[in-house]
Amino acid sequence: MNLTLTETAAQEVKKFMDTEGVTDTAGLRVRVVPGGCSGFQYAMNIEEAPAPTDEVVDAGGLRVFVDMFSAQYLDSVQIDYVSSVMGSGFTFNNPNSSGGCGCGSSFSA
């Protein structure tokens, strides 16, 4: 699986993890869940350890946990963190999506 985080995205996640004081086994869970206006949406959270069936990816110096369902949609995805006048947040560049919506948080495949 080829999932990447830009340096900016990795720094934002590390900053949050340092603030929360997580353990060495912790990592970033990235997943795809049904929903959103285009059919699927991205979700991210910090977890203490991977599940037994997770794929663990080293991305931007972070351990990233991906479940088997999400892996099929997240291969070759790049996660970035963008700051602008309109706000800041994580963005997903997914070459596998066949469509998306204006909000940028949901996609179709």
pLDDT digit string, tens, across residues 43-102? 999 999 999 999 999 998 999 999 999 999 999 999 999 988 878 889 888 887 766 655
Amino acid 86: pLDDT: 78
The domain segmentation of the chain, as residue ranges, is: 4-95
Amino acid 74: pLDDT: 94
DSSP, residue by residue, 38-78: TSEEEEEEEESS--TT-EEEEETTEEEEE-HHHHHHHTT-E
Q: Which CATH class is domain 4-95?
A: mainly beta
Q: CB–CB of 96/77 below 8 Å?
A: yes
Place of tokens 């060495």: 24
CA–CA separation, 69 vs 54, rounded Å? 10
Amino acid 108: pLDDT: 56
Amino acid 105: pLDDT: 57
Write b or e for each residue in 23-51: b if 16 or more Cβ atoms lie within 10 A of its Cβ, otherwise e. eeebbbbbbbeeebebbbbbeeeeeeebe
Amino acid 98: pLDDT: 64
Amino acid 5: pLDDT: 96
Lowest mean pLDDT among 8-12, 17-21, 45-49: 17-21
